[in-house]
Structure formats: structure tokens, C-alpha cells
Amino acid sequence: MSRDVQISKFMSLVLRHSPEEAGLTLDENGWVDFDDLYRAIDVRFGVAKAEVERIVAENPKKRFTLINNRIRAAQGHSVGIDLQLTPSAPPAMLYHGTKTEFLASILKEGLQSQSRQHVHLSNDIETARIVARRRKGADAILAVDSSAMSNDGIVFFLSENDVWLTDHVAPRYLKHL
């Protein structure tokens, strides 16, 4: 794993799950002071601030939002913060990448947010496949009838880095591709 990826993973850990690892507290909307986060990163990795800014700017998934010297994770939180996203109309179809071993349970209970605040859905099959490949085993791709969900009054949010978020996807909206 490259040093950039190690630093990015540490930032995700702190900003999504365990801010106490860096001696930090997230505000109610998930933000921390960038200088405070930078100091915690520097202690562990001995890295210049400009390098951390570059890692944020070049992050392939734009995982971090850095504005006015405050930073937060765009999505993926397990801690209870409010991203203050406004509901958005989703495209007609969305996709979810997972593993075949989870299929029976997913098709029975629907997609659950598990340890995170939301279920994460992708705009296209290619992105869903990348999500699926993060875990070992055979990939499974589910199509989500987001148009029907929307018509049924279910709310979607688009994260700052273009991941679609919703609370739960019932089995009737899912199709294994």
C-alpha cells in the first residue's frame, strides 16, 4: 500500500468512524479543523501540509471535502453525524456491488445500511463492480429500481462525491444481474 493510500485510509478512519484515534471530535455535521487533523497525520506519517492537501485533491473518489480550512468525509460514516444533504431525484436505475454470499440475505431483507448511516448505491455497473471487488469472494451486482422507489416516496441523497445514499432498499426493488 502506498503512503498516500495509508494516509487516505487513516483520514477515512478518523473522519468516518473513530475521530478519537486522532484525539479529535467531529462537529454535528462531520467537520473538523483541517490544521488539527493535519497535526494528527503529521505525528504518524511525518508529512508536509501541502502533501496532505495534494492527497485530498487527488483522491480518486473525492472522499474528503476541504472548505474554509475545515474537512469532512463525503460519505461512509458509521458515527452519527448529519451531512445536511438535500434530497435529490435519483436516475431511473442505480446499482449495488456486493458478494454472492450476501445475496440470499439481501434478497430476503433488502439492502441494510449495516454499520454505516446509509445504503450506498452507484451510478453505473462499473462503479458497483469496483465496490464489490473490495471484498474477497465472487462479485454480485444488483440493479436497484430507484425510479419506483422515488415514486413510492423513498428519499435519496447524493453525496458530495456522487455516491447515492438511501436508508434501505426493499427486496421488491432489487434485481440480481
Contacts with ligand HQG by CB under 6 A lie at: 12, 61, 63, 76, 98, 102, 105-106, 109, 111-112, 114-116, 120, 131, 163
Grid coordinates given for 68 = 474554509
Of 24 and 107, the one with the shorter C-beta distance to ligand HQG is 107
Specify the DSSP element, H or E, that contains 104: helix 100-109
Of 43 and 88, the one with the shorter C-beta distance to ligand HQG is 88
Specify the DSSP element, H or E, that contains 92: none
CB distance 3 to 41 below 8 Å: no
Chain centre distance of CA 86: 16
**Least distance from ligand HQG to the Cβ atom of residue 128, Å:** 9
Task: Please name every residue paired with 111 in a beta bridge, in sequence order, or none if there are none.
Answer: 169
Of 150 and 166, the one with the shorter C-beta distance to ligand HQG is 166
